[in-house]
Structures are given as C-alpha cells and as structure tokens.
Structure 1
Amino acid sequence: MVKWRILVSTAVAALTVAAWGTTAEAAPTVPPGDGAVVSPSVVGGSRATQGEFPWMVRLSMGCGGALYSPNLVLTAAHCVSRTGTNTSITATLGTVDLQSSSRITRTSNYVYRAPGYNGNGDDWAFIRLSSPVTTLATLPIATTTAYDSGTFTIAGWGANREGGAQQRYQLKATVPFVSDSTCNSSSMYAGQVIAAEEICAGYAAGGVDTCQGDSGGPMFRRDASNAWIQVGIVSWGDGCARPNKPGVYTQVSYFSSSIRSAASSLGS
C-alpha cells in the first residue's frame, strides 16, 4: 500500500507534540483512496548537528518543511487541509533537538495549498508564519532540472523505522537519484510515479529513506556554487526503506514558477 509520509493518528500526533511543548493541529485528512500512516523520521540516518541545516522546520501536525523565506515554510500539500486562514499550526525551528530551550516557535496565520491538489501530484503547499524568522538561513529552490540527479540529502524528525516513533533529534541521510523509468518499472512502482512532477531517490536494497513524519520536508543537494538547494519535497512511498521502494518526492523544479508566484502573493 502506498503511504503518505505524514502521521494520521491525531492521538499520536498530539502526544508526540505535547512532549515537545508545542500545540498540535488535528492531523490532516488522508488523501482520497489512501489509508496511510503518517511518517516517522529518516530511516538509516545519523543525527544532524546543530546548525547544519538551519532551514529545517518541524510542523505540529506531524510533518516537516523548509524555511523558504523568513515568513514562509514550504511543505507538502497532503500535510494541510485547504487554502485559507489557519492559526492552528505551530512551527518549530532553529534546533535539532525539539525539546531544546533555545528552539524558535511560530504559529501559522495562513495556508496556501497547491491549486488543483487532489491527492495525485501537485503535492506542495506554503504555511505563512505569524511573524518572520530573521535569524535563520532560508533554503532556495531549484528552478531548472540541472540538479535533479546525483546524490541528495534528506533530513527530518520522522520515524527511524517503518512503524516506529517520531524522533526528538533530527536525523539525516543521503540517497541516490533513481530515474523515472527505473522507478516506474514493474519491480518498483509500476507506473504510479508522475514522471513530470515527481522524483525518486533511494537504494534498490532499501535501508535508507524518509518515513512517516518526514512528509513535507526538503530533499536537497549542493549546487554549482556549493550552496544548498532544494530539489524535492517528501511526498510518499510504499512503506519505509523497503527494497525496490525508493522515496517519491515532489519535483520542485517542475513547480518552481508556481511556487515563486505563490510566495510573492503571500508577501514573501
């Protein structure tokens, strides 16, 4: 069964977030036709160091995100319910330890979900923060396909094994690009991947992957100037780190014009 990488149990999300000292939003609705379990942290990863990926964001509904601008978090459409005013989401930033006394928190004031999202592609969204975060670096997005291959970095606070618990400390890992043709082969996803707007990454042997709770988080790599650039958004996968079941990510470059236009309209 294809699983979105977000926690769908309100009780689990509430208990987990309560332990972090933030307020949980009710878990979002699972997309049509899916009985998914929300994802945990990175499988097969190691602990990230403080300040290593300063743009990483943890969202109270059990998702991840990246700081696109001081007041906008780029995440997955399946993490939010609709476009409109929303003051119920808490974003935690500036720390790898979600219990750190130095963590930064902001509430949301608006959500923008990709127009036309219906659970099949178009899996991106913005969460606008109630006030800007000016002390952290933001993560630029890829605007061409030039960086949509190679080796990528993934990070998050999701489960570190399929069916596992959400993590207190941010984990990171690297995963290789998997071509559309390979990812859509009969041994992998048999045509389920939308080649134009999704990108696959992972090992044929499995063992390293994003998981429930990592939904909406960034997949990123270095650009030609050795700066970090976001190429993907954690979207879905069959289980976590299973052989021949790589992670599937929203291909940011495909949506870059729409993302930038939406950011402008939201006052980024």
Structure 2
Amino acid sequence: MKTKPRRLQRAVTLGVIALATVSLQSVAAQAAPHPDPNPSNRIVGGTRAEQGEFPFIVRLSMGCGGALYAKDIVLTAAHCVDGSDATGITVTGAVVDLESPDAIKVKSTKILVAPGYDGKGKDWALVKLEKPIDQPTLKIAKDPKYNEGEFDIAGWGADKEGGQQQRYLLKAKVPFVDDATCQKAYGDRLTPGEEICTGKLHVGGVDTCQGDSGGPMFRRDEAGEYVQVGIVSWGDGCARPESPGIYTEVSTFAGDIEKAASEL
C-alpha cells in the first residue's frame, strides 16, 4: 500500500467496518484509495458505543458509514456511492453489533451524488431506501457556528495502520483544526469552505479511517441535540501526527442537501 498518495478516501468494499480510535501508543490505519477488506472482531484502543447511543448511524454494504437524514434517506459521502447501482446497496441500522439478529437491513432504491462532484470537495450523497428504518434521524448543521470545538465521530472502520475492520461500533472525540493549520499539511488538496479538518494535531492517535467514509461527524447544539457538522471524507493515513482528518462541511451544502432530499 502506498504511503501518502494524493487523496486517501476512507472506504472499503466488504467486511464489517470500524472507527480508528487508537491509543497514543498505536499508529492508526492508512485509509485506502481502493477497496481493502480486512474483516475482524478485534478492537484496538477504541471505545465501544452503547446500543442506542447513536441510533442514526448506519452501515452501507460497500463498506462505508452514513447517517439517517430521514428515516428513508441516508446522508453519506459521494465517493462511497458514485457509480454504484441504485438498487444495489444494503443499509444496516438500529444496532452497534453488525452481527446482531436485531439489525434492520434495507435495500436502496435511488442514489443522488452531489452535483459537480469530481473527487475534490462536494463529497456528499443521498441514498433513498425502499422502506424507512424506524430510528431517530440526525439533523444537519445549517450554520457554520457549529464548525468549531470538539466533535463526536463513530463508525465500523479500520482500527490501526494497515488494519482490520470491526464488528462493533466505536466512538471517539476529535478537536477542530483551523483551515490555515490544515493547509500546512495538505496545501491545495484541501478545499476550504467545503471541508473541515479535525485531529490531535501534534500527537495524532484519534481519527476516522478506511471503512468510516460517509459516516457523520457531529456535536451537541444549544438545545443539547446532536447536529451533523461533517461527513467522513479523506486524509493522509489515519491518526498520524500533523495529518488531520478531512470531513465534508455540511453547513456549506445544507441547502443543496435539503433540496435534493425533497426530490428523491
């Protein structure tokens, strides 16, 4: 696997998937630009989410995460579903254990990729489901005031550098990294205004990774309710010092997302 190619998008194709929330002693997994299935039940340095803690988070069968924008619409990353068969995705929800008999599995019927998506910025998409998943939804940020502070991340992606996927949903918190600092790491690969950066900049150790693409980055609003601020998109490796994780800036595209969802 190459080290630091231009864009390391955080998707896999098969297997159960997990979040890289590794200890500071562990180096986190490199996000593969192409499918790299590594199924495993092992968790390294992560914190397991409780059943029902984040009921809006779902898993997509191609190896990505997502969030219930509506009970029958999933918000995910464009690079996860671009070119996919509109009826070929299975969405799993309602569980933290992907092997649970209580898992709800629903097929897709339509896919809408962000207009103008070309692999740089605009990394969002919607997946319409054949029937609703009866779980709470996650509202999206419509105001950039939520784009700073500390964020929650959760998913089933790889657990360490070159690592394996997870059966159980893991969670972590990551701090905001400003655009100027982030551009020192990524230069013109970053698209300010369309992407948000996070991470423990100087020490690394906590991040999303391959298999977490499309999953939500979220925080509490003034009312104490969760609001989605970002969508897991890409990064150089995972949890490396001086290499922040990159997320689609949801507030920038809130109007476009709402309009697209109304037309699905």
Please say whether Structure 1 and Structure 2 have the same fold, judged by a TM-score greater than 0.5: yes
Aligned to 1:199: 196
Once the two structures are TM-superposed, the CA of residue 165 in structure 1 deviates from its matched residue by: 1.3
Sequence identity (%): 56
Q: Any idea what SS the aligned residue of 1:215 has?
A: coil
Structure 2's unaligned 5+ residue stretches are 18-30
Structure 1 stretches of 4+ with a deviation exceeding 2 A read: 37-45
Q: Does 1:89 align with 2:85?
A: no
TM-score (norm 1): 0.85
Distance 1:182 1:38, change over 3 A: farther
| Equivalent AA in structure 1 for residue 188 of structure 2 | G
Determine the C-alpha separation between the residues in 2 that align with 1:249 and 1:171. Answer: 18
Partner residue of 1:259? 257
- The amino acid of 1:49's aligned partner reads E
Say whether 1:5 aligns with 2:14.
no
The 8 Å contact of residues 10 and 32 in structure 2, kept in 1 or not, is answered as: no
CA distance in structure 1 between the partners assigned to 2:45 and 2:200 by the alignment: 11
Q: Which runs of 5+ in 1 are unaligned?
A: 20-33
Q: What is the rounded CA distance, in whole Å, between the counterparts of 1:217 and 1:90 in structure 2?
A: 15
Alignment correspondent of 2:213: 215
Summarize deviations over 1:214-251 as a string: whole Å, max 9, x none.
00000000001010000000000000111111100000
Alignment check: 8 A CA contact 2:32 2:210 kept: no
Where 2:258 maps in the other structure, the secondary structure is helix
**Superposition RMSD on alpha carbons, in Å?**
2.1
1:1-268 map, 5 Å: 1=5, 2-7=7-12, 10=13, 13=14, 16=15, 36-38=33-35, 44-82=45-83, 86-133=86-133, 135-185=134-184, 188-204=185-201, 205-266=203-264
1:211–1:240 contact (8 Å) kept in structure 2:
yes
Measure, in 2, the Cα distance between the counterparts of 1:97 and 1:212: 18
Distance 2:101 2:259 in 1: 36
Pair 1:35–1:206, CA change in 2 (3 A): closer
How many residue pairs are counted as aligned between the two chains? 241
Distance 1:212 1:227 in 2: 28
Moved more, 214-223 or 190-199: 190-199
- The whole-number CA distance in structure 2 between the counterparts of 1:142 and 1:35 is 28
Indicate the SS of the match to 1:4: coil
- TM-score, normalised to structure 2, is 0.87
Judge conservation of contact 2:154–2:172 (CA < 8 Å) in 1: yes
Does the CA-based 8 Å contact 1:42-1:154 persist in structure 2? no
Partner-residue secondary structure (3-state), 2:174? strand
Question: For residues 194-216 of structure 1, what are the alpha-carbon distances to aligned partners after superposition, in whole Å with 9 as ceiling and x for unaligned?
Answer: 11110001011110000000000
